[in-house]
């Protein structure tokens, strides 16, 4: 139990700093990393070479997200400065006229749509929601929660496809699973998760009164987005990579249809009287349209394979020992965000003064999210590589006490021993823990795959039951985005001169949301596993 507590200590320090000491997520990332290093190198007997190597490895692996966030920030600042966001906000008011409908349309439907494509709601949405009249707290909360409704179908479904691709290596060929199998197990939990998140968005913007006013659209958006994903994965109608895109689109269509059919008379007096300026609107949304098209194209497997094949030897980095990273820049979404950003300047045509203001704001605000994502990934890999050593052949290998001292293994095996069969009820919580520490569900799914499998085998579950438990773990990791310090820090950084206590206030609210939904997922996991 001492090892269990010390393995959790870095996370506990981070959460305490944000929740109670009112520190930023970026600052607490550095503090958490220092705590993880001390724990790894002392109690968990990790050589300094491995600990610092893991730190560098995590920072490089984080580039897929950290670079995407800071470049998306630059794009949004440009759109705000040129008036594009105001034009988009006026258009949103035409299809979603109440505050509740706007939160659901943007957070549930559009959020799932763009997140599935590889864009990040935490960078896209706060300025747009502010332009719609949301408070800074509401704008940040909806933007962060908008990353969650489909939990694992984000970033072209990397949280699903990467673990599936690694399953044969990590669990052995006999226990390997496909992306479709994992996607279906995750989708089982989505009706519960998506509907709960829809009402959570209403709660953060207006309490129980907003939940009452938006009850019907919340139910519609939550059920449409989740049941469509469940149907697509059960019948394998669509490739896993585009399930989130289509489900998000269907959710937006359902909300527009509801508004047209049932809200027309109620909202008549609030509707804009001026005709839509379509050329101006198309120009305003052109950066997002180009990004969506590009993200869709590079997600096609043959094109993705071709782009990955363009990487040069300079992009293949040996970080330490035998741990290598292929940057494969041309296949990464952040490279194409940069391309779209350059093209956008020709369409939005900012003046020299506007470009200067955009650059100043960007340079001022980009460092917090970049540091937060980079360092939280480093914490994840320090824990993942703990109790490992570099052998005489220069290969990273488990040390003699790996099973007893690896921080991730200690957390997983302790939970399995303490709860026994009841472990299935807390499996989702392990996913939540891994994603909060690692800043990413993908990192959590990889780090704890072997832990979850061993725990399930130890308590006598079948391979089918393991897949349900692992689907619950992945779902918990997706829910964790609601309270991941790096994501909240990134969303707050999109606001001009935000209240320094805003991160803590959002975190306190979102901890309640994330833990509540994860507990419900855990209960559902026990029921589903028990029913076979």
Alpha-helical segments (H) within 349-440 = 352-365, 367-384, 402-405, 407-419, 423-438
Q: How far is 450 from 27, CA to CA, in rounded Å? A: 31
> What 3-state class would DSSP assign to 466?
helix
C-alpha neighbours within 13 Å on the C-beta side of residue 114: 25
pLDDT at 100: 94
Whether residue 271 is contained in a domain is answered as no
pLDDT tens string, the chain, 532 residues long: the values are: 789 999 989 888 988 888 788 788 788 889 999 999 999 999 999 999 999 999 999 899 888 778 887 888 898 889 989 999 889 888 888 888 899 999 999 999 998 988 887 677 888 899 999 989 999 999 999 999 998 889 899 877 878 988 888 888 778 889 999 999 999 999 999 999 999 999 999 999 999 999 999 999 999 999 999 999 999 999 998 888 889 989 999 999 999 999 888 765 554 445 555 677 889 999 998 988 888 788 778 877 788 889 988 888 888 889 998 888 888 899 887 898 899 999 999 999 999 999 999 999 899 888 888 888 888 888 888 988 999 999 988 899 999 998 899 988 888 788 778 888 888 999 999 899 878 866 678 878 887 888 888 889 888 899 999 999 999 999 999 999 899 888 898 899 888 766 778 988 999 999 999 999 999 999 999 999 988 7
The domain in which residue 409 lies consists of: 2-264+278-530
Global pTM reads 0.83
Region class of 461: left (phi > 0), else alpha (psi between -120 and 50), else beta? beta
> What 3-state class would DSSP assign to 280?
helix
User: What's the total number of domains in the chain?
Assistant: 1
Provide φ and ψ at 396, rounded to 5°: -75, 125
Q: How far is 272 from 275, CA to CA, in rounded Å? A: 8
Whether residue 272 is contained in a domain is answered as no
pLDDT at 271: 52
pLDDT at 267: 47
pLDDT at 268: 44
409: Cβ–Cβ under 8 A, 6 or more apart, which residues?
402, 403, 450, 451
pLDDT at 328: 87
Tokens of 18: 């944000």
- Which is nearest to 388 in space by CA: 320, 325, 451, 444? 320
Q: How far is 394 from 320, CA to CA, in rounded Å? A: 9
Region class of 96: left (phi > 0), else alpha (psi between -120 and 50), else beta? beta
Whether residue 269 is contained in a domain is answered as no
pLDDT at 235: 94
Tokens of 449: 């795959």
Q: How far is 107 from 203, CA to CA, in rounded Å? A: 13
379: Cβ–Cβ under 8 A, 6 or more apart, which residues?
10, 29, 32, 33, 36, 58, 437, 438
Whether residue 167 is contained in a domain is answered as yes
> What 3-state class would DSSP assign to 47?
coil
Q: How far is 222 from 239, CA to CA, in rounded Å? A: 21
C-beta of residue 141 within 8 angstroms of C-beta of residue 203: no
Between the alpha carbon of residue 105 and those of residues 92, 191, 260, the distances in Å are 9, 17, 14
168: Cβ–Cβ under 8 A, 6 or more apart, which residues?
176
C-alpha neighbours within 13 Å on the C-beta side of residue 474: 34
Whether residue 101 is contained in a domain is answered as yes
C-beta of residue 390 within 8 angstroms of C-beta of residue 495: no
> What 3-state class would DSSP assign to 56?
helix
Whether residue 273 is contained in a domain is answered as no
Burial annotation 125-160 (CB, 10 A radius, 16+ → b, else e): bbbbbbbbebebbbbbbbbbbbbbbbbbbbbbbbbb
- Which is nearest to 140 in space by CA: 530, 482, 524, 390? 482
Whether residue 349 is contained in a domain is answered as yes
C-beta of residue 190 within 8 angstroms of C-beta of residue 524: no
Q: How far is 280 from 527, CA to CA, in rounded Å? A: 52
State how far Cα 325 lies from the chain centre.
21
Between the alpha carbon of residue 366 and those of residues 68, 75, 359, 528, the distances in Å are 11, 12, 10, 43
State how far Cα 37 lies from the chain centre.
25
> What 3-state class would DSSP assign to 325?
strand
Provide φ and ψ at 501, rounded to 5°: -90, 0
Token match 């650059």: residue?
359
Whether residue 407 is contained in a domain is answered as yes
443: Cβ–Cβ under 8 A, 6 or more apart, which residues?
61, 377, 380, 381, 434, 435
């Amino acid at each position: 139990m001492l090892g269990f507590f010390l393995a959790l200590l870095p996370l506990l320090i981070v959460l305490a700093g944000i929740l109670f000491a009112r520190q930023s997520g970026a600052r607490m990332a550095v503090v958490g990393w220092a705590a993880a290093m001390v724990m790894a190198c002392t109690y968990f007997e990790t050589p300094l070479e491995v600990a610092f190597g893991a730190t560098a490895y995590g920072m490089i692996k984080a580039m897929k997200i950290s670079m995407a966030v800071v470049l998306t920030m630059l794009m949004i600042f440009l759109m705000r400065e040129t008036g594009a966001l105001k034009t988009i906000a006026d258009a949103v008011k035409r299809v979603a006229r109440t505050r509740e409908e706007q939160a659901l349309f943007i957070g549930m439907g559009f959020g799932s749509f763009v997140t599935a494509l590889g864009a990040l709601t935490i960078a896209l949405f706060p300025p747009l929601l502010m332009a719609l009249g949301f408070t800074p707290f509401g704008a940040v909360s909806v933007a962060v929660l908008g990353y969650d409704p489909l939990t694992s179908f984000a970033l072209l479904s990397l949280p699903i496809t990467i673990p599936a691709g690694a399953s044969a290596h990590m669990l052995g060929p006999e226990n390997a699973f496909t992306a479709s199998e994992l996607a279906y197990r995750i989708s089982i939990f989505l009706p519960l998760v998506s509907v709960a998140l829809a009402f959570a968005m209403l709660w953060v913007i207006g309490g129980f009164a907003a939940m009452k006013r938006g009850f019907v659209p919340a139910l519609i958006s939550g059920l449409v987005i989740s049941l469509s994903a469940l149907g697509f994965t059960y019948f394998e109608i669509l490739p896993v990579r585009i399930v989130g895109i289509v489900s998000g689109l269907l959710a937006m269509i359902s909300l527009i249809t509801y508004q047209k059919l049932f809200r027309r008379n109620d909202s008549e007096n609030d509707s804009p009287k001026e005709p839509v300026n379509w050329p101006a609107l198309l120009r305003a949304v052109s950066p997002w349209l180009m990004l969506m098209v590009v993200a869709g194209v590079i997600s096609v497997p043959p094109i993705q394979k071709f782009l990955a094949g363009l990487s040069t030897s300079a992009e293949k980095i040996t970080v330490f020992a035998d741990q290598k990273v292929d940057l494969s820049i041309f296949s990464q979404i952040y490279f194409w965000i940069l391309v779209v950003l350059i093209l956008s300047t020709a369409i939005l045509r900012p003046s020299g003064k506007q470009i200067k203001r955009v650059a100043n704001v960007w340079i001022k605000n980009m460092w917090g999210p970049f540091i937060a994502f980079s360092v939280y990934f480093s914490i994840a890999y320090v824990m993942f590589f703990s109790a490992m050593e570099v052998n005489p052949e220069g290969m990273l290998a488990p040390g003699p006490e790996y099973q007893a001292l690896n921080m991730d293994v200690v957390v997983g095996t302790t939970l399995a021993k303490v709860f026994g069969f009841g472990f299935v009820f807390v499996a989702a919580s392990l996913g939540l823990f891994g994603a909060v520490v690692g800043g990413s569900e993908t990192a959590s799914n990889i780090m704890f795959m072997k832990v979850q499998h061993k725990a399930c085998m130890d308590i006598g579950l079948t391979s089918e039951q393991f897949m349900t438990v692992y689907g619950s773990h992945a779902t918990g990791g997706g829910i964790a985005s609601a309270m991941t310090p790096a994501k909240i820090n990134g969303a707050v950084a999109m606001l001009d001169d935000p209240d320094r206590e805003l991160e803590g206030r959002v975190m306190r609210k979102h901890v309640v949301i994330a833990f509540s939904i994860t507990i419900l997922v855990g209960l559902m996991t026990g029921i589903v596993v028990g029913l076979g």
